[in-house]
Structures are given as structure tokens and as C-alpha cells.
Amino acid sequence: MSLGFIGGFLGWFAVGVALWTLLEWFVHGRLGHRRGARNRFAVEHARHHATPQYIAGWTLKFLVVTPVALVLWALVTPVLGRPDAAGLVAGLTLMYLYYEMVHRLIHRRPPRSRYGRWLRIHHVHHHFHSPRTNLGVTSPIWDRVFGTYARVELPVSIPERHVPDWLLDPATGDVSAAFAGTYVISRRRTTGVSGTRVPEDRLSGARVSEARASEARLPEAQAFETRASEESRRGTGG
């Protein structure tokens, strides 16, 4: 294998990695969050927003990415040649798989690095506060370029019904000490035995004033979640 082959492969591999970050922003924002979208991705994404723990399995992902990668390979090989085409397709495909892995970890595992902490804060804000911003999952680059970046103010509220297991202290059922000050749980108000409203908005790890300020940023996300639930039911025949 010549140095030219290796150089071409690595160079176009880097192009594929960079190109995926743009495609990630475009697919998420333009296919997943465009009003009235009925494509397969939009339906799956609506279901994910309605139930964040739901993420389509790896089998479906590979059934989609494999033919797409093969078609792309066939299209770009006559233009770029085999080494460069192989690098481009490999960069795009591996970065897509990395995105899928990261997205799963965000919802199912606690952070283990500063990058992991940023990923979760950034994505939680997208889910529960402003679903038309912070569309990049692995990187904020294109959000900044296209004006969809939103600075996240801590603590970030998560509706009680959507709190991931990794965020909770098993002993108390509240936000664990490791994440106090970063996340708060937005609890619904319940009705007492006498029929009076009993406030249950004791958001863990934050003062009442912080809770109210954080909850004030929730309506847009709640409206999107409602639409997502309806669209998901229509898309799956539920």
C-alpha cells in the first residue's frame, strides 16, 4: 500500500468526519424538527422526544446505514477514485456510528469526562427547554454557524417522568450529589387529601427561585413533546 493511498484515505477520512457534523445538524433540525414532517426519521425522532429513553435499536441503524454507505461509495468512486472515496465513506460512516453511540450514552449513562458532562447538559436543554436549538449532538459548531446555538443556564430542569436513572441517588430517589447544582427535577403539583393543591415543586439541588426561573423556560419544549407524542402515535399507528 503506497503512501499516496494512505495519505488520500486519511485526508478524505477527515473530510468525512467534518462533513458528518454538518449532516448531523441538518438531519436533526431539518428532518427531525421541521413542522409537519412525516418522514421515517421524523416519526422515530418524535417518538424519542415523547419518550427520551426510546432509541431505535442498532439493527435498524445498520439496516439504514449499510445501503446508504454502499450507494455513496458507488457514486463518489468514479469522481474521487478508490482511496479517497473509501476515506470519505469511512469517515462519514464511523462518525455516524460514533454519534449513535454518544446519543445512547447521553440518555443511559453518567458522564465520565468534561466533554461527557457538556454533551448531557447541551442535549437535555434541547429536549426539555428549547427543541429548535442545540441541534448538534456531538458538536456545537454548526449551531453557532446557523444561529441555533443556545447558551445553557444551570441548573437544567428535567420533568420528573423523564429523569434518567443515572442522574438519581438510589437511596433517596433525588438528584445525586455528583449532579446537584447542574440538574433539577421538575415535579408536578399533586392534590392533597383535603382537595387543596399541595406544591411538590421542591426541585432537588436548587432554591425555589431557581426552580421557578428554570420552569419558565419549559413551555416550548412541553408543546413540542405534546406534538411529538401525537405524531409518534400517528406514525406508528398507535
Task: Tell me the per-residue pLDDT of 23-80, one tens digit each, with 9 for 90 and over.
Answer: 999 999 888 787 766 777 888 888 898 889 888 888 888 988 999 999 999 999 999 9
Strand partners, 156: 183
Residues 152-189 have pLDDT tens digits of 999 999 999 999 999 999 998 899 999 999 999 988 65
Q: What is the pLDDT of residue 34?
A: 75
Q: Check whether 198 has a pLDDT greater than 70.
A: no
**Confidence (pLDDT) at 199:** 40
Report the C-alpha gap between 73 and 45 in whole angstroms.
27
Alpha carbon distance 147, 132 (integer Å): 11
What pTM, to 2 d.p., does this model score? 0.77
The pLDDT of residue 102 is 96
Q: Is the pLDDT of residue 220 over 80?
A: no
Residue type for position 42 = A
The predicted model gives 1-27 an average pLDDT of 85
Provide the pLDDT confidence category of residue 204 given band limits of 50, 70 and 90.
very low
Mean pLDDT of the chain: 81
